[in-house]
Amino acid sequence: MPPATLKDVADLARVSMRTVSNVVSGYEHVSERMRQRVQSAIDELDYRPNLVARTLRTGRTGVLALVIPEIDVPYFSELARDVIKAAAEIGYRVMIDQSGHDHERERELLTGGDRTMLFDGVLFSPLVTKAELLEMGARASMPLVLLGEHQFDGRYDHVAIDNERAAHDATQHLIDIGRRRIAAIGEQPFEDYETPHLRTKGYLSALAGADIEPDAHLMRPAVHYRRADGYSATQQLLALEHHPDAIFCYSDILALGAIKAVFDAGLRVPEDIAVIGIDDVEEGQYSRPTLSTVSLDTPFIAHHAVARIAARIDDPTTTAEEVVAPHSLIVRQSTAG
């Protein structure tokens, strides 16, 4: 037996489809008697509105896309959790799309690609470069909020931390505990991503403030921000004639990989090398040593991102806003002493 339709309900209740629709969508001006009659027909047939038909008619799907590089990177899965929660609170569902570090795929997702109209808006945690982003802006047909990026040109809504200050704070903390040979892992020299650049800027400004000469050997790139990348970058640092006495990693799991590399080399964290990350993922509270980090307040980010996209869906002409999410230094064992 196929699912009941609006018409079936109307026939059973002996009213018009219009009236049933009114009842279903909670329209105000329906007499109580009608409402009862219709409701019992709905119950009897176990009627559920067909969302696809509704969407075709209204143009609204009630679905948001969350585009992230990889769902199994803890920061993104924790962000996804918060976004799904925030979206549910205002009646949206979330479809997660993995860009998988693939620029082509990102572009496709943003410009609509082969899946037009499957969602009302996009929350986008991009890997794209500045140039690509601008180019896409021209084609993107959908409400868009950028997460984590800080490219304010008045065209997109943004929700991000102050990356430069966050990196500065982390580096400053390492200086404050007396470290001088401070390495940085996470720059992406061959890409025009804004986030790593801003973090490098913050790292360098903190060094400058302490009159520490930056050393190019201590700045290691990381193609992706995964544990293995932090591990191998740290191995290279340890192979230097003078290894660093501290490492600032541009993500927590990069830092967790770094810590393992330090111990595998027979050195200790934090005694020989202090390590700090960014993100404050739960894993860092259980690692040994526990991980010092810069906390990003993902619930805040998720809440504001969803609020912005909802506003933009309701009124596409609303002026773009830039929301700066708070961050805070969290000192744990990996930088103790």
Binding residues for DNA, rule: CB under 7 A, are: 2-3, 5-7, 14-19, 21-22, 24-25, 29-31, 33-34, 47-50, 53-54, 56-58
What does the block give as tokens for 119?
Answer: 């969602």
- Within 84-113, the residues that bind a second copy by CB under 8 A are 84-85, 93-98, 112-113
For a second copy, the binding residue among 36, 40, 118, 209 (CB under 8 A) is 118
CA dist 330 → 80, 290, 295, 315 (Å): 22, 11, 7, 39
Is-contact 182 144, C-beta < 8 A?
Answer: no
What does the block give as tokens for 108?
Answer: 């496709």
With CA atoms as reference, report the closest residue to 279 among 325, 317, 215, 244.
Answer: 325
CA dist 93 → 22, 62, 72, 158, 306 (Å): 23, 6, 20, 20, 11
Is-contact 157 144, C-beta < 8 A?
Answer: yes
Least Å distance between CB 271 and a second copy? 14
Least Å distance between CB 283 and a second copy? 6
Q: Find all residues with CB under 8 Å of 305, minimum gap 6, and list them.
A: 83, 86, 123, 145, 147, 157, 159, 323
Stretch that binds a second copy, among 15-23, 65-73, 162-170, 241-249 (CB under 8 A): 65-73
* Contacted by 212, from DNA, a second copy, none: CB < 5 to 8 Å by type: none
Specify the DSSP class assigned to residue 288: S
Least Å distance between CB 87 and DNA? 20
Stretch that binds a second copy, among 6-14, 125-133, 199-207, 253-261 (CB under 8 A): 253-261
With CA atoms as reference, report the closest residue to 160 among 326, 293, 299, 311.
Answer: 326
Q: According to the binding rule CB under 8 A, does residue 268 interact with a second copy?
A: no
Q: Find all residues with CB under 8 Å of 310, minimum gap 6, and list them.
A: 90, 92, 121
With CA atoms as reference, report the closest residue to 133 among 111, 100, 164, 112.
Answer: 111
Stretch that binds a second copy, among 69-77, 161-169, 206-214, 324-332 (CB under 8 A): 69-77
Closer to DNA by Cβ: residue 29 or 242: 29
Least Å distance between CB 314 and DNA? 13
Q: According to the binding rule CB under 8 A, does residue 45 interact with a second copy?
A: no
For a second copy, the binding residue among 18, 56, 89, 315 (CB under 8 A) is 56
Which positions touch a second copy (CB under 8 A)?
A: 3, 48-53, 55-56, 61, 63, 70-72, 74, 77-78, 80-81, 84-85, 93-98, 112-118, 141, 227, 231, 253, 256-257, 259-260, 263, 282-283, 285-288
